Structure 1
């Protein structure tokens, strides 16, 4: 028996509502997808608080998307937030306001939970025959690295190396200066030494995977099939192709990057930082080629819900 679920993902860049029809043991079937660009990570002040304007937009968007979930016939809405809300000093106050004004209780995922749920989705997509999987996932606020041979990874790291965060902190010029890019590369290498050592010590992967919109965009820019080809077409990202891409896009303005096929306007500003994080992580882990997985965190939450018949804070949406 199918159940219609809504998954509301409040990320550092966007709020995304995914509506799926799903049943235990089956493949979740996407029915609709709705996005809004909020850039919560940029609506954070010097004290580390989400600004009143950012909170206003969040409340308004969550209310709108909860309404879409109701009219779409969702029986349950799984609502969660990641890095931008997790790291904000006033996150509790913002979450209370969201719940009071919209009726939606956002579950704030820890970085490690985010990594583990993404790994679950990747494992289910590729299956047991993939063997030991190394997974890299780049969000707006954080980078998740996982490795393991089961559905729960043996190693899971969440690092504050998201594309939006690094763009804000390091690459304010448009286009970014050549020296600034070089300094950021060196800094990323240093930040990745310890987690890379632990991941390498855990074993040799049989399959290396990149998940998330950032990796899908990078793969498209280096020649992978467009999204119109469907999710089951194999897409890869190579270290050599990524290096060539960085040399090209790091000299372009945000407006010019937005004209590239496969780059959405809301991603054009931070795709250079995303590419630099991807390059550094692949270099640190000795990865030459990544397979690109179409499933990530949202699918992991759906699968956890179906497996356990519970999934954090759930809101029953009245019809």
Structure 2
């Protein structure tokens, strides 16, 4: 479940402030003062097909500490599968969210070289994706980079590494997005996991829900058939990627597990736990069985659209998408049988942060050359 926009900070001005500070009053953005007191901050912005999400964090000994976060459902990819273009209303929603991110980044004082801003499937696929990215750059100061599926998959893996069972022999990371789903297979090599293969299916919760609209007021049997059609659609996409028989045997014999990252699995977790309100500390890192996931999906079907909209872990903005996410997860679990799936309320943004912070911890080439004099010790990384 995504974070809320959060409370407005004191001193928030109605005058918009771009990330580059060009609309800030009195010269430099307020955030530069905040940076002096809070220390070095990093930002990671992910503009997806369904959500616009931002994390601002400070490095810590065991990774990083989140200082601020933002998430808003924008449905940038709404109608994209039919038209091949980003819709004007969808672009306006995304632009407004990105302006809010730009203001938040400026107030926090995140330097431009420590803000990683990326866009994924919707902007990759749309004929006017690059045009929208340029509009965002000129209007908000944010420089979004459209990343390809393999980088998206690697970043999701990077963000979830801490949730891998070190005793497992293989891991499958499933990142369900709005417009695509990335699957990454890793195998344990010594004391670490190495990526063996990956695939990106052009099916996400938005595309699948648009392709298979929920029948209104349908009986249980009709709903079940509709749900199975979505599972089969995703199953066909997975089948296009030949399975490694050695890897598959590790899953079939219980020596491997899945990690699910996205609202698709966190929503199932919230329903499974019966949460009256979403609590990340209870969801992130939770172990679920395949039958737990199926039971949660059955509960979602029984609720109907109105019941799902009233659920605090889902809400009206995702009531028509959550079962598409459950169907995607079920298709993957049928194709790669595993009794254990670990829930990750983390992923691409966390991967961006960890990657950038790790780069900054590496000694520069100049410092390494200076340290090669007599008696110098090799740098500690």
TM-score, structure 2 normalization:
0.73
Q: Does 1:189 align with 2:240?
A: no
Q: Does 1:168 align with 2:210?
A: yes
Give 2:265's match in structure 1, choosing from 195, 199, 215.
215
Match of 2:19 in 1: none
Mapping 1:14-93, distance limit 5 Å: 14-22=51-59, 26-42=62-78, 44=80, 46-75=82-111, 76-93=114-131
Mapping 1:163-312, distance limit 5 Å: 163-174=205-216, 177-178=222-223, 179-195=225-241, 197-198=243-244, 201=247, 204=250, 206-223=256-273, 228=279, 230=281, 234-309=285-360
Answer yes or no: is the 8 Å Cα contact 2:278–2:312 preserved in 1: no
Alpha carbons of structure 1 residues 67 and 261: separation in structure 2 relative to 1, 3 Å: closer
* Shift in Å, 1:26: 3.6
Answer yes or no: is the 8 Å Cα contact 2:248–2:336 preserved in 1: no
Match of 1:134 in 2: 172
Question: Number of residue pairs matched?
Answer: 309
* Shift in Å, 1:97: 1.4
Structure 2 unaligned segments of length 5 or more: list them.
Answer: 1-37, 362-381
Which protein has the larger Cα radius of gyration, Structure 1 or Structure 2? 2
SS state at 2:132 partner: helix
Which digits, 9 at most, give the CA deviation of each residue in 1:41-81, with x for residues without a partner? 11537331112222233233212211111102222322111
Give 1:159's match in structure 2, choosing from 178, 187, 201.
201
Structure 1 unaligned segments of length 5 or more: list them.
Answer: 311-319
With CA pairs under 8 Å and 6+ residues apart, which has the higher RCO, 1 or 2? 1
TM-score, structure 1 normalization:
0.86
Give 1:143's match in structure 2, choosing from 181, 185, 190.
181
Which digits, 9 at most, give the CA deviation of each residue in 1:287-312, with x for residues without a partner? 122011232111011111112249xx
Counterparts of 2:329 and 2:133, CA distance in 1: 31
Which digits, 9 at most, give the CA deviation of each residue in 1:104-128, with x for residues without a partner? 1111121121111111122244475
Counterparts of 1:206 and 1:140, CA distance in 2: 26
